[in-house]
Amino acid sequence: MTPSIAIIGGTGLTALDTLKITYRETLSTPYGEPSSPVIRGELGGRAVAFLARHGPRHTLPPHKINYRANLWALHRIGVKQVIAVAAVGGIRGDMAPGVLAFPDQLVDYTWGRHCTFFEDNLSHVTHVDFTEPYCGELRERLIQAARALNLDARESCTYAAAQGPRLETAAEIRRMERDGCDIVGMTGMPEAALARELDLCYAACAVVANRAAGKVPGAITMAEIERNLIEGMGKVKTLLARAVPLLGEVASR
């Protein structure tokens, strides 16, 4: 059965052990190789595809991910809806470690990444509307599932897409906060825009792994992030098990 739903796993979710795997396939695209093989399987009775954004062993830094190949591969196999899971830092006061967040807006601070499918051999210049960067219907289904499970979640926030792979300075976080950003990650763009160009219904489920730079005294450690992600990704798996079976065959963006 062709999967209409895909889950892109980020830091802390390189595999989905709740997925009943049927097979793995390595796909080629006009843009090179995707980050990982696409795993097909079943989750809650629905056909689902899973792709590890940073590679099966988490070896691809954010600025080296082949976002175009990843989205193109999912589109090629018939995916219509994409749930993007990612670890983020919390800027807003209520974005504490372990909280889930469903962004509805974003600000892009990345540079030098391949950010569009529309750049070569064009018959005309193409612009896509990106006023609302996330699929409203898919976001609402995720929010409803979080409510039903009584998960600690934030239903509206703005995602800051940072370049990485280093973490941000305290001054950069203050700038992002002035710009209206509530969480900060490194993989939200160009992934969301590329999904829109392919007319995929795309929504993000962010897991707050740490307070952003300058929000608490001292340095941010990977040990702290990994510890918080264990709890947070457990919530994500519970959320997906609840939400995926309830998704329609095709959601509007």
Task: Encode pLDDT of 61-116 as tens digits.
Answer: 999 999 999 999 999 999 999 999 999 999 999 999 999 999 999 999 999 999 99
Report DSSP state, residue 94.
T
CA distance 81 to 79: 6
Domains and CATH numbers, the chain: 5-246 (3.40.50.1580)
* Amino acid 119: pLDDT: 86
- Does the structure show a pLDDT above 60 at 172? yes
- Strand boundaries in the chain, DSSP class E: 5-9, 20-25, 38-43, 46-52, 81-90, 100-101, 105-108, 153-154, 158-161, 183-185, 201-211
* Amino acid 125: pLDDT: 79
pLDDT tens, position by position, 3-46: 899 999 877 676 676 788 888 999 999 999 999 999 999 988 88
User: Cα separations (Å) of 163 from 108, 153, 185, 226, 228?
Assistant: 9, 25, 9, 20, 22
- Does the structure show a pLDDT above 70 at 55? yes
Predicted model pTM: 0.93
Report DSSP state, residue 50.
E
Backbone angles phi, psi at 225, to 5 degrees: -60, -45
pLDDT tens, position by position, 181-220: 999 999 999 999 999 999 999 999 999 999 999 999 989 9
- Does the structure show a pLDDT above 70 at 251? no
Average pLDDT over the chain, rounded to an integer:
92
55-93: b (≥16 Cβ within 10 Å) or e? beeeebebeebbbbbbbbbbbeeebbbbbbbbbbbbbbe
